[in-house]
Amino acid sequence: MILLLLSQPTMPLSDFFAHSLALAVVAGPLLALIAFWMIFPTNARRRQQQLATMTLQELEMMAVRGKGGRDDIWQARLYRRVMRLVHWAHVQGEPTHYVVDGSLSALAVGETLLALKSYREQATPRLVRRLDASLRHVAHLRQAPLESAAALERLAYTLAHAQEGELASRAKHSALMIRDNRRFFTA
């Protein structure tokens, strides 16, 4: 396709056609190589970074998205990404505990977000406002992980006062996991 576009054949054939054909033969594979290099991550580090970014984007989307029936799809997608992250860390030869800890933190935060979304339906208006404010902070997880953790801790405090101990402990645990693995959450 690129060969045809760059050669621009004209009738009658002229001497310029041979030069444009040579240019097309050289430029075609170079353009394809550049496009392939820019579109697809070709080494283990770029693949790992892309998976981590996709995981964090999914968490941010979960924080702002309403309660939907895609919870099982989200979990399957995130579990697969976690396994691929560990695989690419192993391929790179770097210690996998950093990736495992960060991935497990992402799973914990995701499960907490799902629990908070399901609790929102039965919460009081005051708790709904606090939940929404906290989820808006979590929606900026990559840009401000410490602020997201602080918002989850404030939410845990509010939930504990509302006699929702289990949900409060999950929110506090997720906040601690974000703080402990903030390097992963700023990827």
pLDDT digits (tens, 9 = 90+) for 103-157: 889 999 999 998 998 888 888 899 999 999 999 999 999 999 999 999 999 999 9
CB neighbours of residue 19 within 10 Å? 11
120, two tokens: 């929102």
140 neighbors 89 (Cβ within 8 angstroms): no
Tell me the domain boundaries of the chain: 2-39, 44-185
Question: What is the Cα Rg of the chain in Å?
Answer: 24
On the question of pLDDT at 16 being above 60, the answer is no
Cα angle for residues 63, 126, 105 (degrees, 5° grid):
30
On the question of pLDDT at 5 being above 60, the answer is no
Q: Among 170, 181, 48, which residue's Cα sits nearest to residue 110?
A: 170
Q: Supply the pLDDT for residue 112.
A: 93
30, two tokens: 């170079």
How distant, in Å, are the alpha carbons of 8, 15, 23, 34, 144 from that of 20? 7, 9, 5, 20, 52
Q: Among 112, 88, 119, which residue's Cα sits nearest to residue 178?
A: 112
**Which percentage of the chain shows pLDDT scores above 90?**
32
Indicate the pTM of the whole model. Answer: 0.74
Residue type at 180 in one-letter notation: D
